[in-house]
Amino acid sequence: MVKLNPQDLEAIAGGTLKHYVRHAADFWRGTRGHDVAQNIEALLRYIEGEPPFTILDFGCGPGRDLKAFSALGHVAVGLEGAEPFAGMARAFSGCEVWQQDFLKLDLPAGRFDGVFANAALFHVPSQELPRVLLELRATLKPRGVLFSSNPRGQNEEGWSQGRYGAYHDLAAWRGYLAAAGFVELAHYFRPAGRPRDEQPWLASVWRRE
């Protein structure tokens, strides 16, 4: 793994955010109809206690899933790096949305029952992932639950179509999460019902222990 210096990290975060800013409207049109009910259910199934739950939608984009959590009666807070998406998410969902860079998080300790990181954490360079996972763990309540879904790969990373991504296989992803103090609850591949080579997404559910 190439060592990334602070200037590299600024370029990665800034370049990826610029991509989403430039394509915000197209991204919203292309994703607002995506069905991620399986992922939402996977998170909620493992949260202990009685609802409503407090959920952090990490990388909430224009607010599709924030609105879904809110419609189910939960208290959802969004976190988004791209300014246009943050504004869209507030308007669409009516939820509180924090605009924060994934590599410069400022999260409250022990606030959330669950963190929903759908198609978001793969933008974190592998070098920084252990730190970011610890920060997400710290914002969860004891025994809180983290859901993640990422495009999978063979542990390669770099730029693709204007965005930086890290594409982990299951073994590597398990290693990162275990080192950050999470215990695996479940994993599956998406889209459901396809052969494995037609399932590019790795979804997994983890408990803070």
Residues 6+ apart with CB under 8 A from 140: 110, 112, 113, 114, 115, 146, 208
Quote the pLDDT of residue 2. 76
| CATH number for domain 6-208, candidates 3.30.70.260, 3.40.50.970, 3.40.50.12240, 3.40.50.150 | 3.40.50.150
Quote the pLDDT of residue 32. 66
Report whether 86 contacts 99 (CB < 8 A). Answer: yes
Report whether 86 contacts 80 (CB < 8 A). Answer: yes
pLDDT digits (tens, 9 = 90+) for 84-128: 999 999 999 999 999 999 999 999 999 999 999 999 999 999 999
Percent of the chain with pLDDT over 70: 97
**Looking at the predicted structure, is the pLDDT value of residue 23 above 80?**
yes
